[in-house]
């Protein structure tokens, strides 16, 4: 988690409380957190670095949740396709 906090600090300034990172870590894969911190930084840049701290945290949480949901849906679909393919092979 220390690396993610450092990434946030480098890209977005003051990081959220450690508890926020703990919560994100319980809900999302490390790679999702990393990618969505970078997405938040890109959004902040596109807005001329005008996002306040609360907006950054809310936006990051939203895009992490959306990505984790996409990942879960994609994994489910891959599993179903695999089952269908195995059913055809047998």
46-66 pLDDT, tens digit per residue, is 999 999 999 999 999 999 999
| pLDDT on residue 89 | 59
Name the DSSP class of 17: P
- The widest CA-to-CA distance across the chain, in whole angstroms, is 58
- Cα dihedral sign, 71-72-77-82: positive
Using an 8 Å Cβ cutoff, are 37 and 60 in contact?
A: yes
Question: Is the separation of the CB atoms in 63 and 27 below 8 Å?
Answer: no
3-state secondary structure of 29: coil
User: pLDDT category, 88, cuts 50, 70, 90?
Assistant: low
Q: Name the residue ranges covered by the structural domains of the chain.
A: 2-89
pLDDT higher than 60, residue 71: yes
Secondary structure class of 50 (helix, strand, coil)? coil
Stated pTM of the model: 0.83
């Amino acid at each position: 988690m220390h690396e993610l906090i450092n990434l946030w600090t480098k890209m977005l300034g003051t990081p959220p409380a450690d508890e926020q990172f703990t919560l994100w870590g319980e809900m999302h894969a490390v790679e999702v957190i990393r990618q969505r911190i970078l997405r938040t930084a890109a959004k902040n840049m596109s807005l001329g670095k005008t996002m306040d701290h609360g907006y950054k945290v809310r936006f990051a949480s939203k895009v992490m949740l959306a990505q984790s949901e996409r990942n879960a849906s994609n994994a489910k679909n891959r599993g179903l396709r695999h089952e269908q393919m195995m059913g055809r092979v047998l």
